Amino acid sequence: MTDHVDTAWAPAGEARDGHRPIPASSAWRPGDHPGQRRFAHVGVIPLEGDPRGELDVTLAYETWGELNEARDNAVYVAHAFTGDSHVVGAAGPGHLTGGWWEDLVGPGKVIDTDRYFVVSANVVGGCQGSTGPAHPHPEDGRPWGSSFPYVTLHDQVVAEARLADLLGVDVWALVIGPSMGGMRAVEWAATFPERVRAIGAIGTTAATTADQISWHAAQAAAIRLDPGFHGGDYYDRPDGEGPHHGLGLARVIAHTTYRSAPELNERFGRSVQDGDPLRPEGFFAVESYLDHHADKLARRFDANAYLRMLHAINTHDVGRGRGGVEAALSRYEGEALVVAIDSDRLFPLSDAERLAGALPRAELVVLHSEIGHDGFLVPESGLNDAVAGLLDRVAVGAAA
């Protein structure tokens, strides 16, 4: 992605260019403009982490295209960590940012919405319309906050399967996603193998590693140690007094893992953004770039939801309770595309190799990109060609 380096996040909760103070939570909440979201009450789901636990779930989702008469042209796009259902479409009321995968999805694109019925939903525990920590608790109408359960990717996929039922989708032609979305594609293959004809797992893993968990631990600590976090119950705090410090710092840590060292060095080097770097007030350009991303995330996300997503990723192990990764995926008979980016330091090639080796009909594609993990967002990386090849192997009928 192309980012500006001339906007910096300020510790006082107000951007250096004079933007308004950062809200205590930037979650979408009932009463906000829905944008292109639709809402589906999928019912009560059991919670994997609590044998006695359950959660009544509503999912916010978007669709493009039409389900054909044979109902064999449905594609599910699973969003990444801080993503949402807005895969395609302009920014505007209800959507602070434009579609995040428009290079791949849309009319005439590889995932052609004139041919496919494309669906994407915000995950359970997220903050862009689906049931999550910022949502009203059913008992008192106040945000769930700290009392919202910690869900797993399996829980999220169970909810997505309920949505598929409501939409009349018995079998997905393809479930595809990057990063955390790729994890859910893998979970779909293990949990509902008969309902998925192909998966696309982009820049992801079959089971989260200790290295990945360690990066996440630092991010979680940054949020929890922010005095504005208030133990997770901060929704009534004024703008500028929420946990934006910790949330922004978590994003700085995360974003560093999303880019490669060569890319950062080539792009910024030791360029100075402001002041004298020999003095404490000096500011390197790369610091400004990271602070820009901290500010951006704090203005569109929620700290509690961030922690729930970290937990879901940390507990990801498709082999849990299934005899291991290889046993879990051996019964999936559909096509699989596993994509690795050669400069990805968060999900290295070894993760993709293990995942592809466990899937009986997997194609492993290694893309060259200087960017790192975020290389899947760059159209010239070769991802579009790889996905087109996968779809060629999964013939579907015409759209309705």
State the pTM of this model: 0.93
Quick check: 95 pLDDT over 80? yes
Sign of CA dihedral 83, 54, 40, 138: negative
Closest CA to 9 of 191, 255, 224, 350: 255
CA gap 339, 357 in Å, rounded? 13
Question: Of the candidates 331, 334, 336, 333, which has an alpha carbon nearest to the alpha carbon of residue 389?
Answer: 336
E strand map for the chain:
38-47, 50-64, 74-77, 105-106, 111-112, 117-121, 174-178, 198-202, 272-274, 283-284, 335-341, 362-367
Q: Is the pLDDT of residue 18 over 70?
A: no
Does 251 appear as a known binding residue?
A: yes
List 135, 216, 292, 373, catalytic entry: 373
Task: Give the pLDDT score at 6.
Answer: 30
d(CA 285, CA 264): 10
Q: What is the rounded average pLDDT of the residues 124-144?
A: 97
pLDDT tens digit sequence for 197-210? 999 999 999 999 99
CATH of domain 38-392: 3.40.50.1820
In this predicted model, what pLDDT tens digit does every residue of 242-300 receive, in sequence order?
999 999 999 999 999 999 999 999 999 999 998 888 888 888 999 999 999 999 999 99
Q: At what angle do helices 244-258 and 285-298 cross, to 10 degrees?
A: 120
Model confidence at 13, in pLDDT bands (50, 70, 90)? very low
- Catalytic residue, candidates 344, 351, 369, 381: 344
Mean pLDDT computed over 153-181: 99
Q: pLDDT at position 377, please?
A: 83
State yes or no: 170 annotated in a binding site: no
Q: Give catalytic status of residue 146 as yes or no.
A: no
Q: Are 377 and 351 in contact (CB under 8 A)?
A: no
Instruction: Give the pLDDT mean for 69-88.
Output: 97
Which residue of the set 85, 120, 130, 179 is catalytic? 179
Domain boundaries, the chain: 38-392
Q: Dump the DSSP string for 152-172.
A: -HHHHHHHHHHHHHHHT-SSB
Say if residue 174 is exposed, middle or buried (CB neighbours under 10 Å; 0-12, 13-18, 19+).
buried
373 catalytic residue (yes or no): yes
- 14: pLDDT strictly greater than 60: no
Clarify whether 179 is annotated catalytic. Answer: yes
Sequence-distant (6+) residues with CB within 8 A of 385 are none
